[in-house]
Amino acid sequence: MTVTTRFAPSPTGRIHVGNIRAALQNWLWARRNGGRFLLRLDDTDAERSTAAFAQGIGDDLAWLGLAPDEAVRQSDRGALYEARFAGLRDAGRVYPAYETAQELDLKRKILLGRGLPPVYDRAALTLDDAARAALEAEGRAPHWRFRLDHDVPIAWHDLIRGDQKLDPALMSDPVVRRADGSWLYMLPSVIDDIDMGISHVVRGEDHVANTALQLQMFAALGAAVPHFAHAPLLAGAEGKLSKRLGALGVDELREAGIEPIAILAFLARIGTSDPIEPVAGPEPLIAGFDFARIGRAPARFDMDELAALNARIVHLLDHRAVADRLPPGMDAAAWAAIRPNLTTVAEAADWWSVVEGPVAAQTPEEDREFLGGAAQAAAELDWADNPWLALTGLLKAQTGRKGKPLFLPLRRALTGRDHGPEMAALLPLIGRDRAIERLAAAAGWRAGA
């Protein structure tokens, strides 16, 4: 069996972190097993689905490194749905129902008022041809329901949740087609999974009830049932399901400077028994992905924790991986010097401005003479080998200063900052002439005066 997974978003908006996690889990399982990862756009909602959203989903997956092996649209597959629907209708597994939304709502309220589950009473199955004709003569067009087999218990082994069992008699026959002929999610999804050879359906636990219904659809269509894995949903840092997570998408993460691999490393491991660790590429995530390691509790999504992981990953990135995002002139040596102080790649531009200058430094009066001497010492140094060590060593010998009184005034004068990259790495980037000029300016006099 070729492992084949699918990510099936509706192009009615951009994907958010919950969607990304579902796509990632499907991609990881396919890649671990040498299989295929498919993108299926569930765009049967013609009013809300747009080409712009479809393009955005594809772009987001590509940026994340989750490009599918194949992409299809449900809107192109109507003939297949019609053919399978006709077979189910002829077999009596789908049937027309004529109740209005108001009538169905009233039935639900009556049942709930009696303390009963709001299960559809199958009144439409009692209608004969004459009754149906009369309703249609009134202008009522039927919606269509899939008839569940109440005599066959619904059971499956979920790869995350374990053994599952539901009683079909306690479930309403699901509506699969609207009165206007448009499709709802349930039946086209099953038809596509069969036609596309999906071996594993990996999705959120909010689809457990859908799976129970769809298992009977697979059987009614004479198809083998795929494996199912229902992952717990994401929860916010406060421990509750967060509406904000439904709006946090790729654009927001990119704006925050989060690297694609950081997103993958974080979402692959939260809610699992594996530690969240920085990785340079997806290979460790693929090798370690296992449904058995996913817990049953909601996975905790903490933006601060993601940002911290992102910083650790930025520290692993080599110059080639980021060169096209760095300021002009920032070479591999400069990246190596500045990288340990970054939380995002975008911050490199700020530190490069420190290298290139100008910088503004406020110098206390008691440090001016010291910095004037530093400017003179810098002019006399051999800059070929570790000028920072040579400069501080000479000034320590001349002034007796050491520790913070020695290093901090120099850092402030040279960078305008109290903290930053190691000065031993930064000073050669600043260079001899700029260093002398900055030290002299901090001392209150021009170099050479």
Is 370 in contact with 395 (CB distance < 8 Å)? Answer: yes
pLDDT over threshold 60, residue 87: yes
- Candidates 85, 84, 75; CA nearest to 40 is 75
Mean pLDDT of the chain: 94
Instruction: Label residue 447 by pLDDT band (50, 70, 90).
Output: very low
Q: What is Dmax (Cα atoms) for the chain?
A: 110
368-387: string of b/e by CB count within 10 Å (b at 16+)? bebbbbbbbbbeebeeeeeb
Percent of the chain with pLDDT over 90: 92
Q: Which of 162, 177, 192 is a domain's end point?
A: 177
Compute the half-sphere exposure of residue 259: CA atoms within 13 Å on the CB side of its CA.
27
Is 214 in contact with 190 (CB distance < 8 Å)? Answer: yes
In this structure, are 347 and 377 located in the same domain?
no
Which parts of 238-354 are beta strand (E)?
A: 299-300
Q: Which of 143, 177, 211 is a domain's end point?
A: 177
Report which secondary-structure segment, H or E, holds 96. strand 94-97
In this structure, are 250 and 275 located in the same domain?
yes
Is 427 in contact with 421 (CB distance < 8 Å)? Answer: no
Residue 197 inside a domain? The answer is: no
Give CA–CA dist 331/221, Å, rounded. Answer: 61
Instruction: Label residue 241 by pLDDT band (50, 70, 90).
Output: low
The residue type found at 19 is N
CATH number at residue 147: 3.90.800.10
Secondary structure of residue 200 in the 3-state scheme: strand
The residue type found at 55 is Q
In this structure, are 237 and 305 located in the same domain?
yes
A 10 A CB-CB count for 432 gives 14
Residue 296 inside a domain? The answer is: yes
Compare 127 and 241 and report the one with higher pLDDT.
127
Residue 240, Cβ density class (10 Å: 0-12 exposed, 13-18 middle, ≥19 buried): exposed
pLDDT over threshold 80, residue 1: no
Instruction: Label residue 449 by pLDDT band (50, 70, 90).
Output: very low
Give CA–CA dist 341/338, Å, rounded. Answer: 6
Average pLDDT over residues 118-123: 96
Rg (CA), the chain: 32
Percent of the chain with pLDDT over 70: 98
Average pLDDT over residues 108-113: 95
- Candidates 422, 430, 420; CA nearest to 355 is 430
pLDDT over threshold 60, residue 75: yes
Residue 210 inside a domain? The answer is: no
In this structure, are 406 and 421 located in the same domain?
yes
In this structure, are 363 and 435 located in the same domain?
yes
Give CA–CA dist 354/332, Å, rounded. Answer: 17
Average pLDDT over residues 426-432: 95
Secondary structure of residue 304 in the 3-state scheme: helix
Instruction: Give the residue numbers spanning the domain of 156.
Output: 80-177
Is 297 in contact with 232 (CB distance < 8 Å)? Answer: yes
In this structure, are 11 and 59 located in the same domain?
yes
In this structure, are 390 and 349 located in the same domain?
no
Residue that is written with structure tokens 């002439």 in the block: 433
Structural domains of the chain, count: 4
- Candidates 282, 159, 204; CA nearest to 17 is 204
Average pLDDT over residues 240-257: 83
- Candidates 399, 266, 125, 366; CA nearest to 391 is 399
According to the model, what pLDDT value does residue 259 have?
97
Residue 273 inside a domain? The answer is: yes
The pTM of the full predicted model, rounded to 2 decimals, is 0.89
In this structure, are 401 and 439 located in the same domain?
yes
Residue 416 inside a domain? The answer is: yes
Reply yes or no: is the peptide bond before residue 358 cis, omega within 30 of 0: yes
DSSP letters along 243-275, please?
Answer: GGGGT-BHHHHHHTT--HHHHHHHHHHTTBSSP
Alpha-carbon separation of residue 266 from 8, 231, 341 (angstroms): 22, 15, 21
CATH number at residue 389: 1.10.10.350
According to the model, what pLDDT value does residue 240 have?
63
pLDDT tens figures, 192-222: 999 999 999 999 999 999 999 999 999 999 9
Q: Which of 291, 316, 341 is a domain's end point?
A: 316
Q: How far is CA 4 from the centre of its chain?
A: 21
pLDDT over threshold 80, residue 446: no
pLDDT tens figures, 29-71: 999 999 999 999 999 888 888 999 999 999 999 999 999 999 9
Residue 128 inside a domain? The answer is: yes
CATH number at residue 282: 3.40.50.620
- Candidates 96, 211, 83, 183; CA nearest to 145 is 96
Alpha-helical runs (H) found in 33-90? 51-64, 78-90
Q: How many residues does the chain have?
A: 449
Average pLDDT over residues 90-110: 96
Residue 187 inside a domain? The answer is: no
